[in-house]
Structure 1
Amino acid sequence: MHKNFFRNIDLWLLVPVLILVTLSLVTLFSLNINFFYGQFALFILSFVFYIIFSQTNYLILKIYAKHIYIASLVVLFAVLLIGIESRGAVRWVEIFGFRLQFSEVLKPFLAISFASYTASIKTLNIKGFLNVFLLLFPIAFLIFLQPDLGNAIIYFIIVLLTLIYLGFPFRYFLISFLPFLLSVPFLWRFLHDYQRQRILTFINPSVDPLGTSYNVIQSIIAVGSGMLMGKGIGQGTQSGLKFLPERQTDFIFATISEQLGFVGVTIILICFAVLLYRVLQIILNTNDMFSKSLSVIVFFAFLSQIFINIAMNLGLLPIVGVTLPFVSYGGSSLLSNFIFLGLINTISNYSKENRVLEIG
């Protein structure tokens, strides 16, 4: 049994992730010992879920795809009613002393639902395309109302890129982009003042350098000051002296850049590159549409979060509260990404078994 367990672990997936988690824990230890203890406990919990999902036959989950979707809608609606308010947002629900952000936790489960539906589409026509977005809209809208603009955007990006990869005609995306443009004034009215300010100051950070632009300015300073080798673990000024807000969550990339410099950033990028390359290999080796769709969703879930978070830290995108997978402090994000990792691991095992059967 032990041999089977270790044989089923895809080290090309797990090793880069463990390096990222280690780098995260070392950085959090340098910032605050409580961050370290909290994240280490959350890592152990998340790793247990990774083991469970990596050893589970994910095809069984496909049977419950519709139930998962309906349950997700109910949960996201319940968050708006009974969620804990923090800094003007209602995103968290406390369960057994743990605060869970369900817009994060539900990602891998909704991935199963959307993969199941896209796999059932026989013809890549406009009807199938629109139906996917009809399923997505209520999910994204409930998340948007929390408000959690970052995750609402992430959901749309993941689905959009997945449909492009699966081969839907590009003209469908151009057609669907028109209603989005027309709805921008309407959506703008729904945004909170701080969200509007983030977008406006992204265009011109000098407008409010001590207010809305403060976070991104401090992040850019932290990244730049790290230079080649960094200032050393625990020696950062922007992160260590708390000039950099959210240094352990949204801006942990800037924190690592300041402390470990270009070398630390290179380690992060290599680990993510290995992880994404391995997921891409798994996509190419899968035969059935459900496995392929789910693998593609996992790939774009990782890629979109990595790209947006790093671009946010460099001032290339507005701040929308997207975490860096396996690195940012926070249990919901860590749990979600380890479940994703477990799912792609079990797909990898399934692909290996199929190849062995084909060879035999």
Structure 2
Amino acid sequence: MTGRRLLWPLLPLFGLSLLVLGSLSWQLALNQGVFIILGLGLFVLVSNYPYSQHRFFSRQYLGLIIFLLLLPYIFGVTTRGAIRWIPLGSFSLQPSELVKPLLIIIFAAYLSASQKLGGYLLLLLLPFGLIFKQPDLGTSLVVGVIWLGLLFNSRVDRRQIFGFLGVVLISFPLIFRLLQPYQKERLTGFVNPYADPAGSGYQVIQALIAVGGGGWLGQGLGRGSQSQLQFLPERQTDFIFSAITEELGVAAGAVLLLSYLWLLRRLLVVAGLAADEFGRLVVTGVIIMLWFQAVVTIGMNLGMMPVTGITLPLVSAGGSSLLSIMISLGLVGSVWKFSQSGL
């Protein structure tokens, strides 16, 4: 098997993305198409570079991560109260998305060489803090879950891990107090969105109406009442799953879920074939990232998860997210290729 076989499960995801984005705005679909092409190019480049070489650049990657995360504070623009994006002509760059594959590399490199929880925690604190401060709760959660998931898949003593988790649980009330008011409303609003249907529960209610209104085969492209009349917020990003099921039906939602399962199966095969601990942890980190984002976003669209601002991988509009994921899949492709060749 070759790394290119990782691309087959992406085709239905890209197809659904372009169809629905095109029904919302041809410009959205055009932009997404450009980033899909760029992402495929990055996939080829990264998958043909020996993954084992990345571990030797961990310090440089950490410096690059900090540099990228500081850029929004210097050149960024404030959008809806958050400083996450750097304007680049007609596009915007979101550094917090682009650092994800780099974080996976440095986390995997550390855990493949050391079992010290303290040092591993230090790797997380500054990047996590810079992302959380923007504020970007969604990406902070993704980074935290990648870090924790890799920790559980490492050789670190389980007693240390559960002791750390105990401290986190005890500190949860303090962590909750650090959230912005709108973030608290999002986290609590999903429990009973109808308690505040025009406020914190609005997004969830509109998403549920869109999903329920699609039926088995959907209302048709460009005919979704919630998405086309803009009752559905963030329909091209956070709530694109609702837009897909409204216009193309539960059948399209099932195709999307099966495509993710197909991709997961391929990723698990690569994790099992990895020639060393570093390669296995890199692939595991990518699996955790993709599946956490997919599960949370779909759950959010179905009213089963709080609204966190996490986008649907490979489907939601957004160049930074798409490029980040394609780079990550390129790392998996590299593990696949060079584990088989013995390099």
Give the TM-score normalised by structure 1: 0.91
Partner of 2:85, secondary structure, is: strand
CA contact (8 A) 2:100 2:324 kept: yes
User: Are residues 1:81 and 2:69 paired?
Assistant: no
Letter in 1 for 2:268: L
Number of matched residues? 343
Aligned CA RMSD, in angstroms, stands at: 1.7
Partner of 1:245, secondary structure, is: coil
Aligned to 1:65: 58
Deviates more, 1:292-301 or 1:67-76: 67-76
* Residue ranges of structure 1 left out of the alignment (5+ in a row): 1-6
2-structure distance, mates of 1:201, 1:95: 35
For residues 165-314 of structure 1, what are the structure 2 equivalents within 5 Å? 165-314=153-302
For residues 309-324 of structure 1, what are the structure 2 equivalents within 5 Å? 309-324=297-312
Aligned to 1:103: 96
1-structure distance, mates of 2:209, 2:19: 21
1-structure distance, mates of 2:331, 2:49: 8
2-structure distance, mates of 1:309, 1:291: 27
1-structure distance, mates of 2:321, 2:76: 17
* Structure 1 residue 86, shift from structure 2 partner: 0.5
User: Are residues 1:116 and 2:109 paired?
Assistant: yes
* Structure 1 residue 169, shift from structure 2 partner: 4.2
Letter in 2 for 1:222: A
2-structure distance, mates of 1:225, 1:174: 44
For residues 7-22 of structure 1, what are the structure 2 equivalents within 5 Å? 8-11=2-5, 13-22=6-15
Cα shift readout 1:163-209 (whole Å, capped 9, x = no counterpart): 21234444333311232233333323321111111122122212210
* Structure 1 residue 111, shift from structure 2 partner: 1.2
Aligned to 2:137: 149
CA contact (8 A) 1:305 1:322 kept: yes
* Residue ranges of structure 2 left out of the alignment (5+ in a row): none
CA contact (8 A) 2:213 2:246 kept: yes
CA contact (8 A) 2:51 2:338 kept: no
Partner of 2:87, secondary structure, is: strand
Cα shift readout 1:61-104 (whole Å, capped 9, x = no counterpart): 22211110122123213322332111100001234653111110
* Structure 1 residue 8, shift from structure 2 partner: 4.7
User: Are residues 1:336 and 2:324 paired?
Assistant: yes
Cα shift readout 1:111-148 (whole Å, capped 9, x = no counterpart): 11111111112xx4xxx123212211211111000000
Partner of 1:10, secondary structure, is: helix
2-structure distance, mates of 1:341, 1:213: 35
CA contact (8 A) 1:10 1:348 kept: no
CA contact (8 A) 1:50 1:342 kept: yes
Q: After the TM superposition, which segments of 4 or more aligned residues of structure 1 sit over 6 Å from their partners?
A: none
CA contact (8 A) 1:8 1:55 kept: no
Identical-residue share of aligned pairs (%): 38
CA contact (8 A) 2:194 2:205 kept: no
Sort the Cα spacing of 1:232 and 1:167 in 2 relative to 1 into closer, same or farther, 3 A. Answer: farther
Aligned to 1:4: none
